[in-house]
Structure 1
Amino acid sequence: MSKRDKNRELPPPVPEALPASAVDAHTHLDACGAKTPDEVRAVVDRAQAAGVGRVVTVADDIASAQWAVEASTWDDRVFAAVALHPTRTKDFDDADRRVLEQLVEHPRVVAVGETGLDYYWDFSPPEPQQEAFRWHIDLAKRSGKPLMIHDREAHQDILRILAEEGAPQTVVFHCFSGDAEFARACVDAGYILSFAGTATFRNAKGLREAAQLVPVEQLVVETDAPFLTPHPFRGRPNEPYCVNYTLRNLAQLRGMTLEELVVATTATAERVFRLDQA
């Protein structure tokens, strides 16, 4: 194995701390290998050393939803979001719905997510995905918590279903993947756009244009760890501390100081997820 290949197996270095405390608005601590209280604490300790003081760990199935809620009680810096990922909705049943209805009421759960549509993978046909998405929209409205959307190659159907069902008060497009035109449509609708490491990729011209135009009042940042590690560490293992790299890149892209962007995106995350109330 070459030295370059070995480096790709290593996590990026923990960068110098940010000038203010940031929020990782979407991560998967269990998929990062943090299963126990000590392991979760170690991950968020590394994040805090880089200036990322709070994280939202997100579920993609029922077991991970139950785990995320439990993990959010282990450390005050951890919050949870619960839902069934669209690629897993083929066999979504009433028992699953009852579990999610119970979990979403937990005070440490700050969003219903991630839900939405994924037309890239073929694990679940569009029909059950759309049915589950409509149910999660209703759950967000009933619980009064933000809706966290997974949208992969499904932009127009996402907007159509939100319009048909009536969007919840707060909608967050996790790992926003659209271009400037789609971003404007989402901004005009009042939605929140969350940018991950993909927005730092050199070949992501449309996405980077979108990241430039979103008002900071509608902008949050995330890792989606352990995936989507930001440039220049693309392909290496991701963790919440890597939000630091994304913020630095986006600040330069938007012509803001790093502190301005960190303070603004943290304020947006605090408002959207009501972190001071959880």
Structure 2
Amino acid sequence: MDATHFIDTHAHLGLAQFDADRGAVLARAAAAGVVRIVEIGYDLATSRAAVALAAQHEPIYAVVGVQPNHVAELPDDWLDQVRALAGQPKVVAIGEIGLDYYWNAAPAAQQEACFRAQLDLARELGLPVVIHSRDAHDDTIRVLRDAARGLTGVMHSFSGDWRYAEHCLEIGFSLSFSGPVTFPKAVDLHEVVRRTPLDRLLTETDSPYLAPHPLRGKRNEPANVRLIAERLAVLREMPLDALVDAVWRNAKAIFGL
């Protein structure tokens, strides 16, 4: 594995922001050496779209689930729908799931019930989980310690300090870094990257969001995952090809790509 084999473990290419040029976005990713893209659902519609994209494009794999900001709009049979989607080809995890107290789009208790139900589903199906946590770190750790025993998973777009990172690592989860890790003032994130075991690091773009420096404020896309990997390599003072190789092994171990 050489430094041209990048993986974007979290993207949303099914969104309308890519409707006009999705094919060109995928071509640019391939040209940049991105060989795998994990397309993430955050509600039932985007989960279905993720499955469809994975069926249409060889480099894409799908993750299905309901993110906390979409809990309030669910039909009664939502969990059965997620279960059915999870059985489709190239679905590699349940996600993104978790808690979000920044937007507070649903009561905390309702968010937590949905979170726990999907953790249970992941255990039932033998799948890893992709975790969304915003302004809810303490409760996220509480729920994971209680309900994620035996599961593997990823803390998507990790944004906490080393204390929070330690808790996530102790539970057995990996940390995925996105555009903000490239920001010069993100010193807490830089410390986390330096201290996290190499076998727990992942790279993602969260496209179309969180574009890395020097593209901040623009639409993000998977080709930019190279900028994330380059920053991680610099922070860890290691060759880029060694960092890329480690991330590939880590992603393969979690998602079975």
TM bracket, shorter-chain basis: over 0.9
Number of aligned pairs?
Answer: 256
User: Does the aligned pair in 1 maintain the 2:144–2:171 contact within 8 Å?
Assistant: no
Aligned AA (2:142): R
Q: In the alignment, does 2:193 pair up with 1:238?
A: no
Structure 1 residue 203, shift from structure 2 partner: 2.0
Q: In the alignment, does 2:69 pair up with 1:76?
A: no
Q: Bigger shift: 27-36 or 235-244?
A: 27-36
Which residue number corresponds to residue 12 of structure 1?
Answer: none
96, 107, 115: which is aligned to 1:133?
A: 115
Q: Distance in 2 between matches of 1:197 and 1:268?
A: 19
Q: In the alignment, does 2:234 pair up with 1:256?
A: no
SS at match of 1:232: coil
Which residue number corresponds to residue 48 of structure 1?
Answer: 30
- 5+ unaligned residues in a row in structure 2: which ranges? none
Q: Distance in 2 between matches of 1:272 and 1:195?
A: 15
Q: 1:105 to 1:32 in 2, by over 3 A?
A: same
Q: Distance in 2 between matches of 1:194 and 1:162?
A: 17
Q: CA RMSD in A?
A: 1.5
Which residue number corresponds to residue 121 of structure 1?
Answer: 103
Structure 1 residue 34, shift from structure 2 partner: 3.5
SS at match of 1:229: coil
Q: Distance in 1 between matches of 2:252 and 2:148?
A: 24
Which residue number corresponds to residue 151 of structure 2?
Answer: 169
Q: Distance in 2 between matches of 1:124 and 1:71?
A: 29
Q: 1:257 to 1:199 in 2, by over 3 A?
A: same
Structure 1 residue 40, shift from structure 2 partner: 4.2
Which residue number corresponds to residue 174 of structure 2?
Answer: 192
Structure 1 residue 41, shift from structure 2 partner: 3.9
- 5+ unaligned residues in a row in structure 1: which ranges? 1-17
Q: Distance in 2 between matches of 1:232 and 1:97?
A: 40
TM-score, L = length of structure 2:
0.95
User: Does the aligned pair in 2 maintain the 1:137–1:167 contact within 8 Å?
Assistant: no
Q: Distance in 1 between matches of 2:16 and 2:231?
A: 23
User: Does the aligned pair in 1 maintain the 2:4–2:32 contact within 8 Å?
Assistant: no
Aligned counterparts, 1:218-237, within 5 A: 218-237=200-219
User: Does the aligned pair in 2 maintain the 1:92–1:132 contact within 8 Å?
Assistant: no
Aligned counterparts, 1:176-215, within 5 A: 176-215=158-197
